[in-house]
Amino acid sequence: MATPTTVQTPVGASEAVPSALLGRPRWFVTLFVTDMWERFSFYGMLAILFLFASAPASRGGLALTNADAGMLFGAYTAAIFLAALPGGWLGDRVFGTRRATLYGAVVIMVGHLLMAVPTEVTVFAGLLFIAAGTGLLKPNLASLLSAFYPRGATAERDAGFAIFYTSIQVSALVAPLVVGSLGEGVNWHLGFGVAAVGMAFGVWQYVRGSASFGETGRLPERPATAVELRRVGRASAVALAAVVAAFTADAVAGTFTIRHVLLLVTVLSVVVPIRCFRGLLRSPEVSPAARARLRTYIWFFVASALFWGLHVQGGSLLSLFARDSTDRAVLGVRLPASWFQSATPLAILLLAPVFAWLWLRYGRRISAAVKFAVGMTTMGSALLLIALAAEFARSGGRVSPLWLVGTYLLMGAGEAALAPVGMSVAAAVAPTGFLSQLVGVSWLGAGMGAGLGGVALKAAGGNAPGPGLFLLMGALSVAAGLGLLLAARPLARRLGL
């Protein structure tokens, strides 16, 4: 078993704040409770967003087609991860990870409040605020967590991230049940409002508990110079002006539709990660050894993009399958379609501690590539299972809800194996001074996957997907997992982990 590594004690921590709570350090508790509430709002939103967008106006929905609702879901998810890049840069270079996390939480709360207002304008404005706030919070919170573990403590960091990932799944499990019941059963905007209340609790406890951080994350790791700030400001202004001008011309011509915005986000989800890796690899501040590790990390990035492109189907394709192809009557009660998504965090709650124990027990003998392979093959198994269910639905009508529950459980098992390790690997290989930025880039893999995965309903013709599409996605995931398994040793050697 790996030798335990002492976790850093924050310098300058207030003595008024307990050093430990429920067996964990106070800083750990503060961070995971913050992320727990953010995940409550995030998973609550994902549980009902597709259903809300595709619901007719008579039921308070946006009345989008299934295909456009799927694109909105994918583009929204991709935008969240795309925003992680500027969010990570702001944490590294401007605010410091502590303030960046706080600002992100506040912006998310405002976004959910906007979505609680029943107008189309406030709904889309709210989605924009939530995406921007999550992009600011997620990479900086992960970087703040990583900062408490010494470099080289790979097994301990993997286990710490796994425990952290487990803790926050409690809210991910509850969110679809609470938000789904209110959104589907009462009013969509009431569901969005509950998410705002949860995020407000997260902001309150973060402010209260941040005294336990000491000096950790208080200042930017590599402060941007005035020249750099002006250059970034000019580039951002030019990019924003170009987008506004393009869509203004589109509107004046009478050809504007929401699909054009969604397509832009999808294209950006592919282009931006490529440009980011080129910039990192060409930076004179990155040493040759760090550059070699980054090139190797690209394989994990691509695998992550594929994984999240398949995972995002849980909120779109599988929501559609739950609504239209699943017998949801249980003991005389018709279950909301959104409830089934709670099975994924349930699997994570049950299995992430097991994976954490395995990573500690075997240490370097189980490399990151092997852990990724486990996640990819498990995801593939989930999609092969639902392909079989779709075949039965095509020939015999609605199928048992157990098919969907089993699929979501397997997706959760794959996430428990892969997601915490993905964050940990990014933190471990990040060049000095680029920690939050590389964590942000790692989330771009999820953005790329979500952006491309959002067009899956187009491939299904906007209708309930047939078994062929699920079979193709499942086979692709299993093949990727086997490829990672075969390449595990050379990848581990090049990463130095």
Q: Taking residues 424-444, report their average pLDDT.
A: 74
Q: In this structure, which long-range contacts are made by residues 32-36, counting pairs with CB atoms below 8 Å and at least 24 apart in sequence?
A: 32/164, 32/167, 32/168, 33/202, 33/205, 33/206, 33/209, 34/101, 34/105, 34/141, 34/202, 34/205, 34/206, 35/141, 35/164, 35/168, 36/167, 36/168, 36/170, 36/171, 36/202
Q: Token pair of 219, please?
A: 């200042």
Residue 167, pLDDT score: 62
- Tell me what pLDDT residue 459 has: 65
Helix (H) or strand (E) holding 275: helix 258-282
Alpha carbons 310 and 383: distance in angstroms, whole number: 8
Q: Please, which residues have CB within 8 angstroms of residue 231's CB and are 6 or more apart in sequence? A: none
For residue 352, give the H/E element and its range.
helix 343-362
> How much is the average pLDDT of 273-282?
83
Listed by start position, the domains of the chain span: 21-495
List beta partners, residue 329: 334
Q: Is 287 helix (H, G, I), strand (E, B) or coil?
A: coil
d(CA 272, CA 89): 14
> pLDDT value at position 5?
38
Flag whether pLDDT at 6 surpasses 60: no
Q: Specify whether the CB–CB gap between 323 and 51 falls below 8 A.
A: yes
User: What is the percent of the chain where pLDDT is above 70?
Assistant: 88
Q: What is the mean pLDDT of residues 348-360?
A: 79
In whole angstroms, give the CA distance from residue 157 to residue 154: 5
Helical pair 467-486 and 488-495, crossing angle rounded to 10 deg: 60
* Class in CATH terms, 21-495: mainly alpha
pLDDT of residue 14: 40
Residue 452: per-residue pLDDT: 77
What average pLDDT does the segment 275-280 reach? 82
pLDDT tens for each residue of 98-136: 899 999 999 999 999 999 998 888 998 999 999 999 989
pLDDT at 23: 58
Q: Is 13 a residue whose pLDDT tops 70?
A: no
The answer to whether 384 touches 315, Cβ cutoff 8 Å, is: no
Reading the block at residue 486, the tokens are 């075969």
Average pLDDT of the chain is 82
Q: What is the pLDDT of residues 52-93, one digit of tens each?
A: 998 898 888 888 888 888 888 888 888 888 888 788 888 888
Q: Calculate what percentage of the chain has a pLDDT beyond 90.
A: 17
Distance CA 372, CA 418 (A): 5
Residue 224 pLDDT exceeds 90: no
298-304 average pLDDT score: 89
Q: Which of 148, 151, 187 is nearest to 32 (CA)?
A: 148
412 vs 166: CA distance, rounded Å: 11
d(CA 37, CA 123): 21
CA–CA distance, 135 with 139 (Å, rounded to integer): 7
At 492, is the pLDDT very low, low, confident or very high (cuts 50, 70, 90)?
A: confident
Question: How high is the pLDDT of residue 411?
Answer: 93
Output 456 or 446, whichever has higher pLDDT: 446
Q: Is the pLDDT of residue 278 over 70?
A: yes
How many residues appear in the chain? 497
Residue 138 tokens read as 């997620």
Indicate if the pLDDT at residue 4 is higher than 70: no
Given this model, what pLDDT does residue 105 score? Answer: 93
d(CA 121, CA 117): 9
More confident residue, 45 or 385: 385
Task: Give the integer Cα–Cα distance in Å for 272 and 251.
Answer: 26
pTM of the model: 0.79
pLDDT surpasses 60 at 316: yes
Contacts of 333 (CB under 8 A, 6+ apart): none
Mean pLDDT across the stretch 325-336?
Answer: 87
Contact criterion met (CB below 8 Å) for 339 and 443: no
**CA 420 to chain centroid:** 11
**Is the model's pLDDT at 384 over the cut of 70?**
yes
Assign 21 a pLDDT band (cuts: 50, 70, 90). Answer: very low
Any bridge partners for residue 21, and if so which? 24
